[in-house]
């Protein structure tokens, strides 16, 4: 078939195949209206790929199959599933569970995506692989998640992924190259019609009615003007695809009755597998031979044990042109002969003419199996459909509740809230209503309505036998992030009213809520220990541990870091990919404040990539807010403003504090105070970001001569620093004190004593080099003003070395100016040597660090969600940058050079 007007797309497909053959895996999404030529381009790619020796894997989405978890993935990978035994065991188990070939249950759906990547890479080691997914907008969500996860991680694999999707239906493919297919211009349309020998008398009408849609041009041109339908007297004509569909319906209705019935059977069964179709046909007294007339018309083809429709619109026409009663009879026959319980349940649902408990029960069982295979999104839709077919109220509410929980598990908080609201209105049972309120609270929090979410939970917690304590703990967390101290104390009081919880972990979790209440009242001495106790004692991977991590931002660094890294290792090892964006976010925050900017950027890069793949757009914004601190320190205003996203509960405060720090470095002191005051008046007033920004507030206020504006936050920080016991925090509290008292009578001596003790504490502390540099700078400035220039230069040189090491340009410039004022004839140049790891990309750094620890390429691939081939590629690229030739040399090459003292 000649493809007119598609030179650009054909070139892109040739390039895609060429890149995959050369070991540069790529993906592409073709988008456009029905009939625009997507399937034809896929057919071209398939033919070219087979000619070049590719393994070709195909899947076609079908609207009726969207609720079957991993159905499209099974369809695509069926020819190569025998190779799955070569995968790492967790991936092999996850894939087996997903496609129903193993006994494993409940895989993380993104671990399935990693298994897909690994399997395709394994197959591609033999011969390159082309995966074709047509009508991608209709594939089930778990399959789409897995395929997109793999597509975004293609690197040096000999794999190409090609999707075709309608532009008027959902197929989330952010981050993948996209090609939007346009309608044909007049010249290309005429060239297409010329090949069909369309009479000149009707050519203009066919051009006019087809609107440049290639399929419409072919169908109308081949079938004559009648196929184009009646011209519209007024208004816009029907879309060309709808007219083609009407034309196809006409062609179907012109077939013999037995052929139409056989076509309907094929269209109604998403698998289109001959053995099931023939069995159903026998019950309806037709046979495979009855398809002959449809094959002669070019509507379908029987290929390799399957019936293939020449175009998705033909399938739709074959199904929708049949009377409803006949469709019901076909679905009943397919349900009886289906060898798969999920397909049976789907056919029974399609055949149902009203509420039917037996059908609803089978659908509910289908939903349970979808959950077990790691398809919560499909389970949610299936439970909801089961509920609609349930005649009695109590089981209907139970199934709607299950649908809501499944939607929440899939990350669809808004859908979960809508289902929960629907169920809530249909029951008076207080226990059930409390559970549904719990589900609804997640969406309220996601919408930045933390106070409303907490209030909802507190009002319903007493009615829940199963979730009461859990709801109050969640309410306390929401109240903390929403700045609602009254709700926080109320949740703590209600928890204590329950008495002692069963189990040590639960009791610690309850005490941690009271700890949060104490901290909200600035009583850190009583508040920090119970939260730290929960963090330290909760079991790895438990919900209690995650609650503790959420509450731990104000705990000492040395308490948080081991727990966070342990949780990340656990999530990686068990393939719980969906949990990683949050955990990596927490780790990046630790790395950032510890002054390890390169590692923080690497961690954020990984977290953002996984967040994008798992649909957590809000998390990406929070990560960018956090990362904005690095350019803020460097004085890069454009970069800071590019990264900062306002709002988003406490996550937004990291963006606010980055802007405030940038303002401080630029000398915009009033802007610093205004930003931070507004943030403290907001809902997220208790966030760690605002607490840690106290030093910026104090310095700005002192430089404006308005120290009273900084006294309350300084006192709060000092109380927290004393309770935390962290040397760096106590040092910063002393620095704040020195700034605030220096102008008082006799304040110079007090300030000097505070600065000296702060410097001593900084030398005891691990990390926080930026805070130490600021203390050294301010002490140096103080000593210079006291005309003690020699002593001042000692502290200023240390500050310069530290600021230079952090690429803190405005701060380094400020120190150089102070050094010159202190009598340093020439400002000291940067004293730190380049770390060889600075030459590496974040991904290369991650790979070589693991390789230096002796981790194999296969293990690194599983840990970082890459293929082993990509790991080897990153090592190949990193070796010359580090000046090494083997893994054995990596530990020495990664050791940073010493930074000589000036």
pLDDT by residue (tens digit) across 835-849? 677 788 878 888 998
Residue 419 clears pLDDT 90, i.e. is over it: yes
Residue 220 clears pLDDT 90, i.e. is over it: no
DSSP state of 837: G
pLDDT tens digit sequence for 13-44:
999 999 999 999 999 999 998 889 999 999 99
Give the span between the Cα atoms of 805 and 812, in whole angstroms. 10
Q: Is 242 exposed, middle or buried (0-12, 13-18, 19+ CB in 10 A)?
A: middle
Q: What is the predicted pLDDT for the residue at 234? A: 33
For residues 605-623, average pLDDT: 84
Give the span between the Cα atoms of 866 and 572, in whole angstroms. 12
Give the span between the Cα atoms of 370 and 372, in whole angstroms. 5
Band of residue 345 on the pLDDT scale cut at 50, 70, 90: very high
b/e sequence 86-97, b meaning 16+ C-beta within 10 Å: ebbebbbbbbbb
Band of residue 274 on the pLDDT scale cut at 50, 70, 90: confident
Band of residue 764 on the pLDDT scale cut at 50, 70, 90: confident
Give the span between the Cα atoms of 45 and 131, in whole angstroms. 10
Q: What is the predicted pLDDT for the residue at 132? A: 97
Q: Is 166 helix (H, G, I), strand (E, B) or coil?
A: strand
Structure tokens that stand for 170 in this block: 């959902």
Virtual torsion, Cα 242, 246, 252, 253, nearest 10 deg: 150
Q: Are strands 306-309 and 300-303 parallel, antiparallel or unpaired?
A: antiparallel
Q: What is the predicted pLDDT for the residue at 17? A: 97
Q: What is the predicted pLDDT for the residue at 799? A: 95
Residue 732 clears pLDDT 90, i.e. is over it: yes
CA diameter of the chain = 106
Q: What is the predicted pLDDT for the residue at 501? A: 78
Q: Which residues contact 390 (CB under 8 A, 6 or more apart)?
A: 355, 357, 360, 396, 399
Question: Of 304, 311, 369, whose CA–CA distance to 343 is shortest?
Answer: 369
Residue 656 clears pLDDT 70, i.e. is over it: yes
Whole-number average pLDDT of the chain: 88
**Residue 402: C-alpha distances to residues 371, 380, 517, 863 (Å):** 11, 7, 33, 33
Give the span between the Cα atoms of 499 and 521, in whole angstroms. 23
The kind and range of the H/E element at 249 are helix 240-253
Band of residue 504 on the pLDDT scale cut at 50, 70, 90: confident
Give the span between the Cα atoms of 333 and 638, in whole angstroms. 65
Q: What is the predicted pLDDT for the residue at 231? A: 41
pLDDT tens digit sequence for 163-212:
999 876 678 888 899 999 999 999 998 888 887 777 777 788 888 878 88
Give the N- to C-terminal CA distance of the chain in Å, as an integer: 74
pLDDT tens digit sequence for 43-80:
999 999 999 999 999 999 887 778 788 889 999 999 99
Residue 238 clears pLDDT 50, i.e. is over it: no
462: left (phi over 0), alpha (psi -120 to 50) or beta: alpha
**Among 101-110, 426-435, 549-558, 766-775, which stretch is predicted with the lowest mean pLDDT?**
101-110
b/e sequence 405-437, b meaning 16+ C-beta within 10 Å: bbbbbbbbbebbbbbbbbbbeebeeeebbbbbb
Give the span between the Cα atoms of 561 and 566, in whole angstroms. 8
For residues 80-108, average pLDDT: 80
**Among 45-54, 87-96, 220-229, 559-568, which stretch is predicted with the lowest mean pLDDT?**
220-229
For residues 270-283, average pLDDT: 83
Q: What is the predicted pLDDT for the residue at 834? A: 60
Please, which residues bridge with residue 132 across strands?
A: 58, 162
pLDDT tens digit sequence for 106-156:
667 778 998 999 999 999 999 999 999 999 999 998 899 899 999 999 989
Q: Is 384:418 a contact under the CB 8 Å cutoff? A: no
Structure tokens that stand for 834 in this block: 């380049």
Residue 372 clears pLDDT 90, i.e. is over it: no
Question: Of 312, 314, 35, whose CA–CA distance to 183 is shortest?
Answer: 35
Residue 229 clears pLDDT 80, i.e. is over it: no
Residue 235 clears pLDDT 80, i.e. is over it: no
Band of residue 223 on the pLDDT scale cut at 50, 70, 90: low
**Residue 9: C-alpha distances to residues 170, 261, 744, 792, 832 (Å):** 22, 38, 75, 67, 51
Q: What is the predicted pLDDT for the residue at 588? A: 95
């Amino acid at each position: 078939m000649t493809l007119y007007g598609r030179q650009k797309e054909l070139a892109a497909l040739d390039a895609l195949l060429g890149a995959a053959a050369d070991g540069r895996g790529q993906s592409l999404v073709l988008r456009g209206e029905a009939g625009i030529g997507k399937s034809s381009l896929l057919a071209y790619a398939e033919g070219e790929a087979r000619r070049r020796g590719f393994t070709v894997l195909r899947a076609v989405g079908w609207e009726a199959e969207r609720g079957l978890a991993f159905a499209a993935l099974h369809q695509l990978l069926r020819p190569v599933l025998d190779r799955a035994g070569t995968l790492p065991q967790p991936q092999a188990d996850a894939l087996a569970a997903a496609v129903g070939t193993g006994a494993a249950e409940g895989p993380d759906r993104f671990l399935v995506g990693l298994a897909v990547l690994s399997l395709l890479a394994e197959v591609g080691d033999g011969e390159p692989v082309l995966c074709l997914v047509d009508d991608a907008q209709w594939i089930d969500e778990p399959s789409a998640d897995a395929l997109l996860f793999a597509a975004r991680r293609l690197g040096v694999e000999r794999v190409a992924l090609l999707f075709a999707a309608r532009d008027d239906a959902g197929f989330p493919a952010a981050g993948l190259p996209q090609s939007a297919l346009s309608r044909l211009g007049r010249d290309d349309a005429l060239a297409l019609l010329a090949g069909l020998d369309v009479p000149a008398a009707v050519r203009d009408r066919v051009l006019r009615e087809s609107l440049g849609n290639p399929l419409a041009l072919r169908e109308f041109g081949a079938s004559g003007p009648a196929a184009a339908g009646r011209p519209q007297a007024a208004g816009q004509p029907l879309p060309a695809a709808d007219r083609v569909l009407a034309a196809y319906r006409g062609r179907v209705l012109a077939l013999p009755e037995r052929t139409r019935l056989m076509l309907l059977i094929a269209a109604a069964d998403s698998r289109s597998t001959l053995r099931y179709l023939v069995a159903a046909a026998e019950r309806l007294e037709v046979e495979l031979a009855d398809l002959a007339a449809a094959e002669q018309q070019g509507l379908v083809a029987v290929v390799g044990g399957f019936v293939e429709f020449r175009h998705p619109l033909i399938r739709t026409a074959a199904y929708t042109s049949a009377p409803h009663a006949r469709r019901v009879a076909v679905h009943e026959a397919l349900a009886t002969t289906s060898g798969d319980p999920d397909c049976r349940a789907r056919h029974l649902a399609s055949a149902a003419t009203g509420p039917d408990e037996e059908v609803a029960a089978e659908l509910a069982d289908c939903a349970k199996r979808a959950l077990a295979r790691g398809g919560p999104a499909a389970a949610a839709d299936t439970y909801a459909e089961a509920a609609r077919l349930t005649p009695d109220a109590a089981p209907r509410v139970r199934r709607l509740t299950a649908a809501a929980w499944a939607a929440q598990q899939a990350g669809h908080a808004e859908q979960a809230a809508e289902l929960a609201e629907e169920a809530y209105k249909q029951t008076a049972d207080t226990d059930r209503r409390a559970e549904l309120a719990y589900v609804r609270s997640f969406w309220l929090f996601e919408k930045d309505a933390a106070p409303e979410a907490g209030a909802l939970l507190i009002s319903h917690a007493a009615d829940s036998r199963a979730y009461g304590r859990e709801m109050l703990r969640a309410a306390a967390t929401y109240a903390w992030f929403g700045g609602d101290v009254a709700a926080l104390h109320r949740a703590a009081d209600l928890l204590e009213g329950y008495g002692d919880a069963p189990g040590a972990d639960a009791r610690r979790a309850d005490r941690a809520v009271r700890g949060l209440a104490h901290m909200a009242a600035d009583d850190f001495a009583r508040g920090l220990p119970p939260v730290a106790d929960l963090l330290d004692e909760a079991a790895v991977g438990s919900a209690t541990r995650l609650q503790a991590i959420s509450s731990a931002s104000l705990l000492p660094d040395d308490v948080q870091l081991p727990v966070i890294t342990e949780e990340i290792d656990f999530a990686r090892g068990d393939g719980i990919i969906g949990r990683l964006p949050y955990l990596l976010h927490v780790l990046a925050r630790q790395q950032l404040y510890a002054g390890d900017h390169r590692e923080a950027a690497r961690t954020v890069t990984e977290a953002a990539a996984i967040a994008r793949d798992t649909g957590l757009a809000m998390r990406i914004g929070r990560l960018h807010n956090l990362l904005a601190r690095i350019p803020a320190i460097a004085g890069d205003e454009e970069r800071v403003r590019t990264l900062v996203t306002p709002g988003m509960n406490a996550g937004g405060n990291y963006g606010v504090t980055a802007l405030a720090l940038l303002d401080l470095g630029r000398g915009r002191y009033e802007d610093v105070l205004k930003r931070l005051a507004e943030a403290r008046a907001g809902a997220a007033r208790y966030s760690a970001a605002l607490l840690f920004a106290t030093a910026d507030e104090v310095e700005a206020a002192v430089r404006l001569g308005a120290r009273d504006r900084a006294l309350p936050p300084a006192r709060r920080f000092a109380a927290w620093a004393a309770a935390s016991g962290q040397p760096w925090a106590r040092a910063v509290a002393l620095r704040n004190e020195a700034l605030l008292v220096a102008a008082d009578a006799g304040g110079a001596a007090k300030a000097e004593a505070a600065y000296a003790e702060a410097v001593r504490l900084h030398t005891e502390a691990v990390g926080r080099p930026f805070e130490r540099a600021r203390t050294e700078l301010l002490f140096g400035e103080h000593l210079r003003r006291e005309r003690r220039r020699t002593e001042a230069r000692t502290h200023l040189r240390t500050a310069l070395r530290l600021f230079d090491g952090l690429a803190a340009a405005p701060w380094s410039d400020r120190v150089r100016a102070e050094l010159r004022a202190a009598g340093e004839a020439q400002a000291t140049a940067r004293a730190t040597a380049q770390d060889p790891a600075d030459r590496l990309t974040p991904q290369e750094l991650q790979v070589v660090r693991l390789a230096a620890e002796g981790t194999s390429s296969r293990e690194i691939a599983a840990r970082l969600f890459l293929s082993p081939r990509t790991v080897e590629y990153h090592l190949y690229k990193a070796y010359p940058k580090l000046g090494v030739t083997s893994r054995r040399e990596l530990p020495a090459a990664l050791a940073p050079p010493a930074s000589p003292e000036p």
